Structure 1
Amino acid sequence: MLLWEVVTRREAHGSYLKRHVGVKRGTRFKELQVEFFLKTKGRKWKSFDKEHPSRTRVFDLPRDDPLAEVHYDGVYLYRPDEPFTPGTYFLRLENEQVYQKVTDVNLLSQMSLLAQHAFLLLEYAWAQLGYRLVDFKVEFGIGPDGRLYIADVIDNDSWRLIRKGKYVDKQGYRDGSKLDEVLRNYQEVAERSDHLARSIPRLVTWANRNLKRIP
């Protein structure tokens, strides 16, 4: 698995609102927004130089899974739970402190494209059933054939799905909804997901017609 969480957003929800205080919940973006978060554990990031093991460094972080801005000269890390202002990063990592190979940086544009394609496909599919898919989070990996793949389960824990103005995903649990209501929502989504599976041929046709370029 690659050390990135990739979030694709159609609307402003969740932590996005903490980083962009002036944006109202539910604001719809004209174009999909893609964010990268560096996967960390124990509020630490460990870089490792294979050619020079003595250069290994451990960085202490104020928060796990920081928002990452990728530039030619390194990866800039920001707190994901505070208002975002360009240039107010808490840490800049050199490229060699993040990527195992120089060419790994090219994977980010591929991840962004794949994430957007997957989102658009699911967004269309759920819309046919009367739901709004407003964001989702995916992770990636490299397969035995050396190709990049979405290597993650996309389910009710990793997306935000709205029907008739209400969340029917994990957000309800986060917001303190009663457990029986959360359970009903999960059951509803599970049942509706069966409809998605049966409509795969139609979705493939739609994808071939509409996913040649990202809007």
Structure 2
Amino acid sequence: MASASELKHGKKLNEGKTKQIFELPEQPGHVLVQSKDQITAGNAARKDQMEGKAAISNKTTSAVFRLLQDAGIKTAFVGQQSDTAFVALHCEMIPIEWVCRRLATGSFLKRNPGVQEGYRFSPVKLEMFFKDDANNDPQWSEEQLIEAKFSFGGLDIGRCEVDIMNRSTVAIFEILEKAWATQNCTLVDMKIEFGVNVVTKEIVLADVIDNDSWRLWPAGDRKQQKDKQVYRDLQEVTPEAMQMVKRNFEWVSDRVQLLLESQTHGRVVVLMGSASDLAHCERIRSACGFYGVPCHLRVTSAHKGPDETLRIKAEYEGDGVPTVFVAVAGRSNGLGPVLSGNTAYPVISCPPLTPDWGAQDVWSSLRLPSGLGCTTVLSPDAAAQSAAQILGLSDHLVWAKLRAVMLNTWISLKQADKKLQACNL
């Protein structure tokens, strides 16, 4: 990609309150998203210049989109181009703001009198608002959106597309909520927008996600809020007040970089009873790699060398790294049960069953003595996923990948059903 000084943008395609969109003649299907130093509230009823805001917002957005893309969420983001701009896929934007709420505050309280601030939504509350400044962005229902019969980028927006955006909004919120929790910050609510990629005709997360997009309460305390609500709440806009707002935005842009880093680095240790099981174990290691989990392979037999098996186990227990053991042993599986009976760490048996005696051999993994908590998962991919789910409890990046897999699986099924129904008409 060309450097910021070399990149030549074409005509302006669109301009909003906080950004401009330019075509990129030398990169068909891409646009340049240029942030502005302007900060607004109340559909620009209040607006001011905040020097440095463009760079702060661009830094925040770029980090958030990298986090989501690494997890497996489809976005329009391509890469940060300069301090104040990034390159994105060219999308036709769907004129809806999707809002996801964990705690009740702001406009929700005005529209729902009697609900106390801080009311917790479980599951999260999902709302949508039609982008119409003249009418103050009215709230819309799913039915209104479907009946609007929108078409963008060659894609008709119907029930399938609305459901996909619904599910995607919740997944994106939950991934970022989990990430911000590592910084002892509560993601109270957030808004996002989707677009249709003009090349692939696919719905992707688009626009920006920066400090204008959410409410963040450090330690769950509204009085410590770091988002744009501080600007909205100003009684008077003074240079001192704007400096305070800027410091909050800088605090967020600095902290958001930390969301890209794992707070706990776990691992999977696969112990195989024989080197002949290597191909089976390599599948486990490959699947672990998909979730970003390091995987170590070792050879040891609980039947033929129990002392060595326990020594290897102790080696991995001794350094304090969160570990899931996966035991791979065919025929009579003593490896999983022996490990489970001698460690407090999770143990998963994934026996490489053969067609001849597999139906009999599996019972050595399923029927265990009392006091053993060793689970059995037959598929190598599923064993890796199960281990990732355990490690994801304390690693938000692993959890994010698992959450994105859930979303993408659901979307593929939804799209397959839509295609099948179209063929049947």
Which TM-score applies when normalising by structure 2? 0.38
**Amino acid paired to 2:203:** L
SS of the aligned residue for 1:139 comes to strand
- Residue 106 of structure 1: CA displacement? 2.5
C-alpha deviation, 1:133, in angstroms: 0.3
Task: Spell out the pairing of 1:82-101 with structure 2 (5 A cutoff).
Answer: 95=147, 97-100=148-151
SS in 2 for 1:9: strand
Match of 2:77 in 1: none
Higher relative contact order (CA 8 A, sep 6+): 1
Taking the aligned partners of 2:157 and 2:205, their CA distance within structure 1 comes to 19
Greater helix share, 1 or 2?
2
* Offset from partner CA, 1:3-48 (integer Å, 9 cap, x none): 111001111111111101111111111111110111124x3xxxxx
- Partner-residue secondary structure (3-state), 1:197: coil
Which residue of structure 2 aligns with residue 156 of structure 1?
Answer: 211
* In 1: Cα distance, 2:210 partner to 2:186 partner: 14
State the one-letter code of the partner of 1:146.
K
Q: Please report how far the alpha carbon of residue 70 of structure 1 lies from its aligned counterpart in structure 2 after TM superposition.
A: 2.4
Query: Of 243, 257, 261, which residue of structure 2 is paired with 1:198?
Result: 261
1:68 to 123, 134, 140: 140
For residues 106-125 of structure 1, the aligned pairs below 5 Å read 106-125=160-179
Q: In the TM superposition, what are the counterparts of 1:130-209 in structure 2 within 5 Å?
A: 130-143=184-197, 144-164=199-219, 165=221, 166-176=224-234, 178-199=241-262, 203-209=396-402
> By how many angstroms is 1:102 displaced?
5.8
Q: Contact 1:156–1:170 (CA<8 Å) still a contact in 2?
A: yes
How far is 1:187 from its partner? 1.2
CA distance in 1, matches of 2:121, 2:232: 24
Q: When the two structures are superposed, what TM-score results if normalisation uses the length of structure 1? A: 0.72
Amino acid at match of 1:182: V
Amino acid at match of 2:225: Y
Does the 8 Å contact 2:101/2:189 carry over to 1?
yes
Give the deviation of 1:132 after TM superposition: 0.3
Deviates more, 1:102-111 or 1:193-202: 193-202
Deviations 1:66-102 (A, max 9, x none): 100123xxx18xxxxxxxxxxxxxxxxx92x442376
Q: How many residues align?
A: 173
Partners of 2:112 and 2:254 in 1: CA distance: 35
C-alpha contact (below 8 Å) 1:99/1:105 kept by paired residues? no
Q: Sequence identity, in percent?
A: 35
Using the alignment, how far apart are the partners of 1:204 and 1:146 within structure 2? 29
Q: How far off its partner does 1:169 sit?
A: 0.4
Q: Secondary structure at the match of 1:21?
A: coil
The secondary structure found in structure 2 opposite 1:162 is: strand
What do the CA deviations read for 1:117-148 (whole angstroms, capped 9, x no partner)?
Answer: 11101000000011000110001001121211
Root mean square deviation of aligned Cα: 2.4
> Of 77, 93, 100, which aligns to 1:8?
100
- Contact 2:171/2:403 (<8 A) preserved: no
- The 3-state SS of whatever aligns with 1:121 is helix
In structure 2, do the counterparts of structure 1 residues 102 and 181 end up closer, same or farther at CA, with 3 Å as the change threshold? closer
Alignment of structure 1 residues 29-68 onto 2, 5 Å = 29-41=121-133, 43=134, 63-68=135-140
CA distance in 2, matches of 1:204, 1:195: 11
Unaligned runs of 5+ in 1: 44-62, 77-93
Residue among 117, 125, 145 paired with 1:25: 117
Aligned-partner Cα distance in 1 for 2:234–2:125: 27
Q: Are the equivalent residues in 1 in contact too, given 2:149–2:158 (CA < 8 A)?
A: no
1:113 CA drift (Å) = 0.7
